[in-house]
């Protein structure tokens, strides 16, 4: 028994890069891609070493590329020193980019503010000088609990400038999560805002910090800096609390970047918590910056006049790697958006793309699926009503993108002319791992395609044996890469146990399942925890979900297993219809139609035994479907668990079924 997962979905559409796009791309054509891969295989030290010397500015050159002596605690560019903020900002002051727009900030209410690289550099320096003046130094740790803003990015950069390790906590998290993280990283500094504006409402942030700091084990925190966003009232603790504008007031516009060792922890970021207790992922300075910059350039095919919009919040790794660091080091002009995609209406993204002439748009399947649904229920907000001709490239991250959602994105948003880069990666990988190079890789909807140059992956069974094409198993990364997680903060044992269990022979275990097709393309089948076992077949939920989403009536679907005495597990599907939710009278007919559809498209084995309907899926705060809770609903018919970590707990109450 290899434990391999049976593949049930066949996707045959292929989209070759358009000749014009290919001709202008930095990595042009599959031969160029293969040449890079070969180079990295033949001479990894040369490949990564040359790249690190060319792409980064060093204060002290490194003499060694990779130290594997204490694996899996890998050390990259170990004896070199640099400063991340210098590499993101100062470099652009002397390369002709000083007056180029670095950030275009659009507030919830539509107000727009832009800053050049020169102005952003000055702002970061003033903040860094202010923070240094409060006595903070390299090695200290800061928690950032801030809304999407120029200030949040400037504060991350200011920490990097001083060698202060930051940990950004997503503004949608509760006091409890905030408290846990303040304690876990042993923070001495907290940076927050009075409130954040979302969908026309002010949501207090400072009050949550006050509450968190009233909790145990927070005595290390000496100072709370507060960015005034809403101007609303806040409680104030004299001596501890200071306004950010007072801290930077009158400080010099320049601040000498503090050189740090290559392995100095730039930040600690907790994973989304889709599968359990979040892990504090510790990232390095040099290796992390190198790979996020290079992958931003390659995967987004970054050009000097691009306007890049990554819609992720800086509270997630995507916002770190492809807003605050990698994309900034690459010198991209970026959109920073404070609000939500549905305010004032579901056309907000399209309207912003039109107004700011966005050329590269990078978002999550959850947003795409909800906007597909919105286009059906409020047709006026559909992308076809907006001029999106500025777009030249689209990207996806966070969950598997179902082929039908991919095709909608490609056609309705990209006008059929923009490549879609489906990027598979994780908080732990720091940057993209499996993703197309848009000027080279032919695209297949639903596949994240091929590993990037320098990245080696495999698909293996429980015993770590490589599986042939068409067989699903564990997705592992078999060689270290510069942006990889260095450890779980304060828990080296958990790092080794979670990511390098002995049966996988030193490979990094991702926790996701995948399979490769005859072209070597990688198809993510879902998380290892979400595999279903039906009548002796192991099935990845993603494939059944994609089949359901391909039905004209379905906007979103999640599939889980319910224990069954006969088949081992029964397939239970949760479905969000594109149009209105069917009533009790219509639901059985729709459920029957969907069962027939799955049976016809992929075979009877995948046919859902039961179907539930809802207006929305329960989602994590990062917008991922929470299958863990749906499994409980499938089993017990109701939810008994604590749902406070959900973005939308009431989604569970509105589910009805089973049919
Ligand atoms: P936790 O590890 O705490 O359970 P999480 O895995 O959701 O949380 P992240 O690091 O934010 O935290 O997400 C990484 C995961 O997201 C991947 O392991 C994968 O399951 C999913 N993912 C991200 N991008 C893609 C993609 N392009 N295709 C398929 N799945 C993706
Ligand atoms: Mg994870």
Beta carbon of 546 within 6 Å of any ligand 1 atom: no
Which helix or strand (DSSP H or E) is residue 159 part of?
A: helix 150-162
Task: Check whether 456 is labelled as a binding-site residue.
Answer: no
C-alpha closest to that of 327 among 274, 379, 395, 263: 395
Beta carbon of 129 within 6 Å of any ligand 1 atom: no
Question: What pLDDT is attached to residue 1?
Answer: 37
Residue appearing with tokens 């320049």: 254
- Region 351-370 average pLDDT: 96
- Region 493-521 average pLDDT: 96
Is the bond preceding residue 658 a cis peptide, omega within 30 degrees? yes
No. of helices (H) and no. of strands (E), the chain: 21, 31
Task: Check whether 399 is labelled as a binding-site residue.
Answer: yes
* CB of 318 closer than 8 Å to CB of 395: no
Task: Check whether 311 is labelled as a binding-site residue.
Answer: no
Question: What pLDDT is attached to residue 646?
Answer: 79
pLDDT in tens, 585-615: 999 999 999 999 999 888 888 999 999 999 9
Q: How far apart are CA 217 and CA 1, in angstroms?
A: 49
Task: Check whether 481 is labelled as a binding-site residue.
Answer: no
Question: What pLDDT is attached to residue 654?
Answer: 84
- Region 469-493 average pLDDT: 97
When the pLDDT of each residue in the chain is averaged and rounded to a whole number, the result is: 95
Beta carbon of 627 within 6 Å of any ligand 1 atom: no
Is pLDDT at 113 greater than 70 in this prediction? yes
Nearest protein CA to atom 19 of ligand 1, as residue: 399
Helix (H, G, I), strand (E, B) or coil at 465: coil
Beta carbon of 513 within 6 Å of any ligand 1 atom: no
Cβ neighbors of 542 (< 8 A, separation 6 or more) are 400, 402, 524, 525, 526
ipTM for this prediction:
0.99
In this structure, what are the phi and psi dihedrals at residue 121, rounded to the nearest 5 degrees? -60, -45
Ligand nearest to the CA of residue 424, numbered in listed order? 1
Closest ligand 1 atom to residue 273 Cα is 3
Question: What pLDDT is attached to residue 277?
Answer: 75
* CB of 396 closer than 8 Å to CB of 422: yes
Is pLDDT at 2 greater than 70 in this prediction? no
Closest ligand 1 atom to residue 448 Cα is 27
Residue appearing with tokens 């549905």: 342
Beta carbon of 619 within 6 Å of any ligand 1 atom: no
Tell me which DSSP letter residue 56 carries: S
Closest ligand 1 atom to residue 511 Cα is 18
Is pLDDT at 68 greater than 70 in this prediction? yes
Is pLDDT at 479 greater than 90 in this prediction? yes
Question: What pLDDT is attached to residue 92?
Answer: 98
Give the Cβ contact number of residue 72 at 10 Å: 18
| Ligand 1 center from residue 371 Cα (angstroms) | 21
Q: How far apart are CA 260 and CA 58, in angstroms?
A: 10
Task: Check whether 400 is labelled as a binding-site residue.
Answer: yes
Closest ligand 1 atom to residue 428 Cα is 10
Q: How far apart are CA 169 and CA 186, in angstroms?
A: 14
Give the Cβ contact number of residue 167 at 10 Å: 24
Helix (H, G, I), strand (E, B) or coil at 303: coil
| Ligand 2 center from residue 28 Cα (angstroms) | 32
Is the bond preceding residue 299 a cis peptide, omega within 30 degrees? no
Closest ligand 1 atom to residue 396 Cα is 27
Is pLDDT at 174 greater than 90 in this prediction? no
pLDDT in tens, 633-644: 999 887 766 776
Q: How far apart are CA 451 and CA 444, in angstroms?
A: 14
Longest dimension (CA), the chain: 73
In this structure, what are the phi and psi dihedrals at residue 457, rounded to the nearest 5 degrees? -120, 165
Is pLDDT at 4 greater than 90 in this prediction? no
| Ligand 1 center from residue 622 Cα (angstroms) | 10
* CB of 361 closer than 8 Å to CB of 312: no
Question: What pLDDT is attached to residue 6?
Answer: 77
The string of DSSP codes covering 182-211 is HHHHT-SEEEEESEEEETTEEEESHHHHHH
Task: Check whether 375 is labelled as a binding-site residue.
Answer: no
Among 168, 268, 271, name the best residue to mutate to test ligand 1's pocket (greatest count of ligand atoms within 8 A of Cβ). Answer: 271
Query: In terms of residues, how long is the chain?
Result: 659
Helix (H, G, I), strand (E, B) or coil at 522: strand
Task: Check whether 424 is labelled as a binding-site residue.
Answer: yes
Which helix or strand (DSSP H or E) is residue 21 part of?
A: helix 19-24
Closest ligand 1 atom to residue 542 Cα is 29
Is pLDDT at 487 greater than 50 in this prediction? yes
Which helix or strand (DSSP H or E) is residue 52 part of?
A: helix 44-55
Closest ligand 1 atom to residue 275 Cα is 4
pLDDT band at residue 120 under the 50/70/90 scheme: very high
- Percent of the chain surpassing pLDDT 90: 87
Question: What pLDDT is attached to residue 215?
Answer: 97
pLDDT in tens, 177-200: 999 999 999 999 999 999 999 999
Question: What pLDDT is attached to residue 637?
Answer: 84
- Region 40-67 average pLDDT: 98
In this structure, what are the phi and psi dihedrals at residue 290, rounded to the nearest 5 degrees? -60, -50
Question: What pLDDT is attached to residue 81?
Answer: 98
Which helix or strand (DSSP H or E) is residue 114 part of?
A: strand 112-116
- In sequence order, the β-bridge partners of residue 402 are none
Beta carbon of 498 within 6 Å of any ligand 1 atom: no
Ligand nearest to the CA of residue 269, numbered in listed order? 1
Among 524, 526, 543, 619, name the best residue to mutate to test ligand 1's pocket (greatest count of ligand atoms within 8 A of Cβ). Answer: 524
Which helix or strand (DSSP H or E) is residue 588 part of?
A: helix 587-602
- Region 488-516 average pLDDT: 96
pLDDT in tens, 408-466: 999 999 999 999 999 999 999 999 999 999 999 999 999 999 999 999 999 999 999 99
More confident residue, 7 or 386: 386
Nearest protein CA to atom 23 of ligand 1, as residue: 398
| Ligand 1 center from residue 317 Cα (angstroms) | 10
Instruction: For helices 44-55 and 286-299, give the axis angle rounded to 10 degrees.
Output: 90
Q: How far apart are CA 225 and CA 191, in angstroms?
A: 5
């Amino acid at each position: 028994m290899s434990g391999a997962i049976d593949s049930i979905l066949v996707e045959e559409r292929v989209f070759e890069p358009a000749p014009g796009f290919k001709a202008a791309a930095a990595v042009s054509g599959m031969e160029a891609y293969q040449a890079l891969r070969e180079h990295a295989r033949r001479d990894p030290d040369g490949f990564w070493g040359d790249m690190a010397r060319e792409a980064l500015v060093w204060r002290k050159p490194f003499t060694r590329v990779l130290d594997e002596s204490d694996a899996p605690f890998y050390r990259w560019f170990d004896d070199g020193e640099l400063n991340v903020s210098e590499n993101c900002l100062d470099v652009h002051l002397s390369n002709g980019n000083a007056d180029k727009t670095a950030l275009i900030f659009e507030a919830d209410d539509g107000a727009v503010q832009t800053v050049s690289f020169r102005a952003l550099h000055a702002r970061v320096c003033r903040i860094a000088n202010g923070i240094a003046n409060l006595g903070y130094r390299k090695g200290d740790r800061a928690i950032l609990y801030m809304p999407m803003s120029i200030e949040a990015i400037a504060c991350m950069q200011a920490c990097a400038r001083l060698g202060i390790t930051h940990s950004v906590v997503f503004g949608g998290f509760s006091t409890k999560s905030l408290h846990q993280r303040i304690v876990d990283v042993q923070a001495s500094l907290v940076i927050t805002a009075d409130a954040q504006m979302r969908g026309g409402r002010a949501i207090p942030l400072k009050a949550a910090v006050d509450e968190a700091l009233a909790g145990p084990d927070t005595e290390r925190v000496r100072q709370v800096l507060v960015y005034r966003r809403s101007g609303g009232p806040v409680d104030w603790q004299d001596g501890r609390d200071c306004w950010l504008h007072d801290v930077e007031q009158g400080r010099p516009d320049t601040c000498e970047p503090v050189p740090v060792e290559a392995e100095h922890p730039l930040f600690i970021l907790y994973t989304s918590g889709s599968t359990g207790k979040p892990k504090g992922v510790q990232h390095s300075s040099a290796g992390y910056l190198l790979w996020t910059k290079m992958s931003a350039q390659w995967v987004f095919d970054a050009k000097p006049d691009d306007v890049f919009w990554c819609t992720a919040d800086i509270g997630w790794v995507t916002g770190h790697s492809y807003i605050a660091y990698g994309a900034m080091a690459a010198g991209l002009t970026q959109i920073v958006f404070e609000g939500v995609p549905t305010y004032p209406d579901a056309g907000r993204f399209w309207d912003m793309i039109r107004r700011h002439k966005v050329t590269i748009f990078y978002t999550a399947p959850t947003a795409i699926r909800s906007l597909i649904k919105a286009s059906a229920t409020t047709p006026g907000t559909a992308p076809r009503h907006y001029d999106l001709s500025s777009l030249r490239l689209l990207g996806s991250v966070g969950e598997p993108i179902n082929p039908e959602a991919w095709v909608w994105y490609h056609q309705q948003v990209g006008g059929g002319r923009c490549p879609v880069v489906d990027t598979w990666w994780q908080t732990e990988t720091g940057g993209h791992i499996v993703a197309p190079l848009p000027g080279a890789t032919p695209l297949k909807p639903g596949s994240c395609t091929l590993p990037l140059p320098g990245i080696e992956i495999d698909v293996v069974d429980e015993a770590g044996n490589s599986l042939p094409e068409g067989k699903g198993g564990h997705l592992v990364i078999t060689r270290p890469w510069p942006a990889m997680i260095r450890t779980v903060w304060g828990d080296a044992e958990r790092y080794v146990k979670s990511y390098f269990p002995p049966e996988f022979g030193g490979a990094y275990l991702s926790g996701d399942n995948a399979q490769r097709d005859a072209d070597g393309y990688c198809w993510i089948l879902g998380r290892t925890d979400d595999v279903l076992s039906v009548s002796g077949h192991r099935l990845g939920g993603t494939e059944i979900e994609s089949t359901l989403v391909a039905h004209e009536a379905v906007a979103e679907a999640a599939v889980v297993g319910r224990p069954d005495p006969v088949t081992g597990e029964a397939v239970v599907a949760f479905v969000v219809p594109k149009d209105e939710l069917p009533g009790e009278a219509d639901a059985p007919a729709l459920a029957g139609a969907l069962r027939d559809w799955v049976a016809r498209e992929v075979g009877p084995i995948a046919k859902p035994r039961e179907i539930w309907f809802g207006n929305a899926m329960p989602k994590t705060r990062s917008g991922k479907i929470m299958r863990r809770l749906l499994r409980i609903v499938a089993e017990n018919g109701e939810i008994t668990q604590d749902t406070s970590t959900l973005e939308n707990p009431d989604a569970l109450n509105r589910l009805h079924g089973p049919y």
